[in-house]
A and B are shown apart, each in its own frame.
Chain A
Amino acid sequence: DIVMTQSPDSLAVSLGERATINCKSSQSVLYSSNNKNYLAWYQQKPRQPPKLLIYWASTRESGVPDRFSGSGSGTDFTLTISSLQSEDVAVYYCQQYYTTPHFGPGTRVDIK
């Protein structure tokens, strides 16, 4: 199994400031044959299902604001919210799909 960890557990950021969430996999999720990282990011607001934000580590899902970006490769990944808005308050999860899916424990983002 490839296990995912995230840091920090939670963070509080001022409106308009940058928020950065880190995700680490216990093994590489980069598939050499196609040079793709099998890593996705989700946003979950209270009483809602998770929403896909990013897949293939850096491809933004249709309709997701461009203030959300994903980066990284191999075992280390980052989700960045470039200018935090009030509607971005949520829990964010990373997930690997290189093997049977495993989600990270989540990072809670709040307004400072």
Chain B
Amino acid sequence: QVQLQESGPGLLKPSETLSLTCTVSGYSISNNYFWGWIRQPPGKGLEWIGNIHHSGSTYYNPSLKSRVTISVDTSKNQFSLKLSSVTASDTAVYHCARQPAGFYDSTGYFPYYFDSWGQGTLVTVSS
């Protein structure tokens, strides 16, 4: 059974770079899935950040794209999120999750729904 666990600093100052890692156990990250990040500000709804396929294919939320980098380390069965120039509005619980993938001639690998989630880690941005 796949398990996902987020790790990283819980407190950042404005303008710093958020760096989180998701460690996947019980399943190879090299299989045909996307691996994604979703965040949830306290008391609010869910916002997709981006995702990555082990082939290197990535998708990013257009509203965050200029600040986001997602990478994968298949040797460690981990994937990571970097979000630069954080502000207080980036304060949220950050979840990693797995997405089944399809393949389309027009787009290549394409992510579907989120079928397994990590528990989430709270990141607070405050001076």
Contacts and interface: CB of A to CB of B under 8 A. Distances in A.
A77 interface: no
Nearest to A96: B113
B27 interface: no
Given A49-B95, A103-B47, A97 B61 contact: no
Interface centre among A50, A97, A101 (most CB of B within 10 A): A101
B117 A51 contact: yes
Given A93-B45, A100-B59, A40 B117 contact: no
Interface string B101-127: 000000000011111111110000000
A53 to B, nearest CB: 10
Interface of B: 36, 45-48, 59, 61-62, 95, 97, 99, 111-120
Given A50-B117, A103-B48, 16 more contacts: A40-B113, A49-B97, A49-B117, A49-B119, A49-B120, A50-B46, A51-B117, A52-B115, A93-B45, A95-B46, A95-B113, A97-B99, A100-B48, A101-B48, A101-B111, A103-B45
